[in-house]
Amino acid sequence: MGSGICGDALVRAANAMLAALGGDQVSLLLPATAMAGDAAAQLGLVDPGVQSVIITPVVSRNLPTGNLGPTRRIEFTLPASALTEQLPTLGLGSVEGLFAAVLGLVYDGDIFHVETVVTENFAGTAYFYVVTAVE
């Protein structure tokens, strides 16, 4: 009889922990996929805009910054389940593809640039994505 932790149970526990530790939310800014069919849009003269994907619960933590470089650096812990449930509606195949397409991250009304993304895995199951973003 095994005493291992099931992947689904780990994901539910991770979500509960994030909700208990803060439960903030962030919006991921992605390029809009719908484009007008006229000539100006075909030539790239029309701004296609962005779409916003809200991710919750999120825990944020301020990181120290030096005298040079970004004014703010924040580490966000995002639940893997909230990211993977967005993939089909966005037409993406992986969370890595999602972060490759992200233009920015909105937190507390400020736009941040995604600097790094680290996947936290246990027994082959991703349960957190730790995102470092700078302003």
Query: pTM of the prediction?
Result: 0.84
The CA-based dihedral angle spanning residues 134, 56, 119, 22, taken in that order and rounded to the nearest 10 degrees: 80
3: pLDDT strictly greater than 70? no
- Considering the chain, what is the average pLDDT of its residues? 87
* pLDDT for the residue numbered 67: 79
Q: Which letter, b or e, does each residue of 54-79 get, where b requires 16 or more Cβ atoms within 10 Å of its Cβ?
A: ebebbbbeeeeeeeeeeeebbbbbbb
| Residues 64-77 pLDDT 10s | 988 787 789 999 99
By the 8 A CB rule, do 116 and 133 touch?
Answer: no
Report the distance separating Cα 55 and Cα 25, nearest Å. 6
- Enter the tokens of residue 74: 């924040």
| Residues 57-112 pLDDT 10s | 999 999 998 878 778 999 999 999 999 999 999 989 999 999 999 999 999 999 99
